[in-house]
């Protein structure tokens, strides 16, 4: 499957899009004023230990304190290597307030929550993840061929001996390592050894909360992590970023250097590929399917729910077949939407009810196949007793909606507003309160045009009755700057 990576760089933000067969599959956005910190390594200071949560808050020098759970704390020997299973001890026996420790960010701050930390440090290269404190060797689960896994393990063992790094710590062979040779693996080992040596020197010098290591910029990380077989080209619309990427590829991923192209067309790169329209659609609640059906995606604090509907699709044979075909199409579409919107955590999918057990199995299989291409780790638990598909998707950064949007100031993020009729009734109640509490001849109501229009039309009889009952003169004035739920009553 042909794949392209598009890199759009401006002084304020960097955006990277992954396009397959001309269709946007993934979008990453990093703003200069608010760069993500996942992968960064810090000298942290424990500011508060919480025995009830088996966790601690750690100051890493960022705006908010970060969160470290006991399960993410390693116990180290004199050589700095792990000596026990994580989370085996009580947090009070593991950490104390004022203690300095080296930590790494595993999750960006999300909403009101601080970053999630771990003391299991790791740094990455093109083919390897190096874990200096954990003496384990692993291979990406996405490399499924047993012969290739055995070959890679042998290649890594030989490279470790050649570089005299047998006792240097643990390594994970990444998905990109599939097909890599010994020279490439050794080059990565040398790079990681130099990188960790530099970090170690800073660890010894620092004694206050500060950053020890910052991960690469977004376009570097994207090329390092997302490039895989089938990639046809990498288009970059910034000359400066193109030169940096070319230098990066020459040093670390030379096989990708020929794929780099500097886009200099007059039409914006994202407009040319229709990415801007796709981003706008990814912020909508409703997703149309080609058949005429649609998805309704609702993201909440606790979970994301996805409802599948036939919509305008009525099928050609019977209801069961219509539901089956819609669900099959929806399985692929929602997998793409999860990637595109970067939705994580608990996800509940309400497929259209199907009586045929084989149809349910085929839809679940189609979903699993579509999710297999996802970079984020995901687990699909199957169909519940209520007919819902439950799954989880690893969340390490803010969703697209949270990056690009903010809660509506009028409805405070609810998604709905009180009707003009409801606001009128609230005004009536407030007038009754004020009439009893204050001695004023006239009450001036300030509200939106829609509310005032209703008060002077549909509710005019009620206003007259209220004025007679209270003995007050009631006047109205439109305030253009007010939201529909907002009103004030002024005593004159």
Q: What is the CATH number of the domain that holds 445?
A: 3.40.1260.20
Q: Residue 410 falls within a domain, yes or no?
A: no
- Say whether both 208 and 338 belong to one domain: no
What is the full DSSP assignment across 377-422? -EEEEEE-TTS-EEEEE---S--HHHHH----TTTTTSS----HHH
Tell me, yes or no, whether 314 and 438 share the same domain. no
- The answer to whether 491 and 443 are in contact (CB under 8 A) is yes
Query: Residues 254-283: what's their mean pLDDT?
Result: 92
Relative orientation angle of helices 449-456 and 460-470, to the nearest 10 degrees: 80
Check whether residue 100 and residue 189 sit in a common domain: yes
Residues composing the chain: 492
3-state secondary structure of 281: helix
Question: For residue 300, how many other CB atoms are within 10 A of its CB?
Answer: 9
| DSSP track, 423-481 | HHHHHHHHHHHHHHH---SEEEEEE-HHHHHHHHTTTHHHHHHHHHHHT-EEEEEE-TT
**Residue 82 confidence (pLDDT):** 60
Is residue 371 domain-shared with residue 436, that is, in the same domain? no
Could you tell me the sign of the dihedral formed by the alpha carbons of 407, 105, 180, 243, in that order? positive
Tell me, yes or no, whether 239 and 181 share the same domain: no
pLDDT for the residue numbered 341:
94
Contacts of residue 298, Cβ cutoff 8 Å, sequence gap at least 6? 285, 304, 305, 306, 307
Give the domain range for residue 192: 41-213
Do 209 and 223 lie in one domain? The reply is no
Interhelix angle for 146-162 vs 182-205, to 10°? 60
Distance CA 491, CA 434 (A): 8
Most confident of 55-59, 109-113, 160-164, 378-382: 55-59
Please indicate, yes or no, whether residues 46 and 141 belong to a single structural domain of this protein.
yes
The Cα–Cα gap between 395 and 399 comes to 8
pLDDT of 207 strictly over 80: yes
255/158 same-domain check: no
Least confident range from 20-29, 76-85, 353-362, 473-482: namely 76-85
Query: Residue 177's pLDDT is what?
Result: 85
What is this structure's pTM? Answer: 0.73
CB neighbour class for 289 (10 Å; exposed up to 12, middle 13-18, buried from 19):
buried
Does residue 1 surpass a pLDDT of 80?
A: no
Q: Render the burial of 124-147: b for 16+ CB within 10 Å, e for the rest.
A: bbbbbbbbbbbeeeebbeebeeee
Q: What is d(CA 114, CA 67) in angstroms, rounded to the nearest whole number?
A: 6
CA 297, 299, 302: angle at the middle one, nearest 5? 135
Closest to 360 in 3D by CA, of 341, 387, 391: 387
Number of folded domains in the chain? 4
- Per-residue pLDDT at 78: 53
Contact 347, 393 (CB under 8 A): yes
Q: What are phi and psi of 348, to 5 degrees?
A: -110, 125
CB 324 within 8 A of CB 315: no
Whether residue 188 is found in the same domain as residue 71: yes
Residues 73 and 98 in one domain: yes
- Judged by DSSP in three states, 117 sits in strand
CATH number reported for the structural domain that contains residue 26 in this entry: 3.30.420.60
DSSP annotation string for 187-235: HHHHHHHHHHHHHHHHHHH--SSEEEE-PPPHHHHHHHHH--TTEEEEE
Q: Answer for the pair 298, 285: CB distance below 8 angstroms, yes or no.
A: yes
Query: CB under 8 Å to 390, separation ≥6 — which residues?
Result: 346, 347, 348, 349, 380, 381, 382, 384
Dump pLDDT digits (tens) for 390-402.
999 987 678 899 8
Question: Do 119 and 235 have their domain in common?
Answer: no
SS3 content of the chain, % helix, strand, coil (to 5): 35, 25, 40
Angle at 454 between CA 449 and CA 460, to 5 degrees: 130
Which pLDDT score is estimated for 147? 92
| One domain, residues 326 and 180 | no
User: What is the average pLDDT across 23-39?
Assistant: 86
Sign of CA dihedral 278, 269, 396, 32: negative
Residue 447's pLDDT band (cuts 50, 70, 90):
very high
């Amino acid at each position: 499957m042909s794949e392209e990576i598009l890199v759009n760089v401006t002084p304020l933000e960097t955006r990277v899009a992954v396009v397959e067969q001309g269709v946007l599959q993934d979008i990453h956005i990093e703003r200069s004023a608010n760069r993500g910190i996942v992968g960064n390594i810090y000298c942290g200071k424990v500011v508060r230990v919480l025995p009830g949560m088996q966790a601690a808050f750690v100051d890493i020098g960022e705006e908010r304190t970060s969160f470290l759970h006991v399960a993410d704390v390693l116990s180290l020997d004199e050589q700095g290597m792990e000596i026990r299973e994580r989370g085996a001890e009580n947090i009070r026996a593991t950490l104390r307030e004022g203690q300095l420790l080296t930590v790494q960010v595993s999750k960006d701050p999300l909403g009101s929550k601080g970053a999630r930390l771990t003391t299991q440090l790791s740094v990455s290269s093109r083919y390897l993840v190096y874990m200096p404190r954990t003496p384990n060797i692993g291979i990406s689960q996405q490399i499924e061929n047993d012969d290739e896994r055995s070959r890679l393990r042998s290649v890594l063992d030989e490279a470790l001996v050649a570089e005299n790094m047998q006792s240097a710590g643990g390594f994970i062979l990444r998905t990109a390592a599939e097909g890599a040779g010994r020279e490439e693996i050794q080059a990565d080992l040398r790079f990681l050894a130099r990188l960790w040596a530099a970090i170690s020197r800073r660890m010894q010098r620092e004694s206050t909360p500060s950053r020890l290591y910052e991960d690469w910029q977004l376009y570097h990380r994207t090329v390092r992590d997302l490039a895989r077989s089938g990639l046809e080209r990498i288009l970059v619309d910034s000359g400066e970023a193109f030169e940096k990427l070319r230098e990066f590829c020459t040093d670390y991923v030379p096989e990708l250097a020929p794929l780099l192209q500097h886009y200099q067309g007059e039409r914006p790169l994202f407009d040319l590929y229709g990415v801007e329209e796709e981003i706008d659609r990814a912020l909508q609640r409703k997703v149309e399917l080609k058949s005429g059906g649609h998805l309704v995606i609702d993201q909440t604090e606790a979970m994301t729910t996805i409802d599948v509907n036939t919509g305008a699709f009525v099928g050609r044979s019977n209801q069961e077949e219509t539901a089956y075909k819609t669900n099959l199409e929806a399985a692929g579409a929602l997998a793409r939407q999860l990637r595109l919107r970067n939705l994580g955590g608990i996800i509940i999918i309400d497929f259209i009810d199907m009586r045929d057990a084989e149809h349910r199995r085929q839809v679940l299989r189609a979903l699993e196949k579509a999710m297999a291409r996802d970079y984020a780790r995901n687990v699909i638990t199957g169909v519940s007793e209520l007919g819902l598909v439950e799954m989880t998707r690893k969340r390490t950064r803010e969703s697209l909606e949270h990056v690009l949007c903010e809660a509506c100031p009028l409805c405070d993020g609810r998604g709905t507003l009180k009707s003009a009729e409801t606001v009128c009734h609230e005004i009536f109640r407030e007038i009754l309160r004020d009439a009893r509490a204050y001695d004023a001849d006239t009450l001036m109501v300030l509200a939106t045009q829609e509310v005032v229009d209703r008060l002077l039309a549909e509710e005019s009889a009620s206003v007259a009755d209220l004025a007679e009952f209270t003995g007050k003169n009631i006047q109205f004035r439109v305030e253009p700057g007010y939201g529909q739920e907002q009103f004030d009553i002024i005593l004159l």
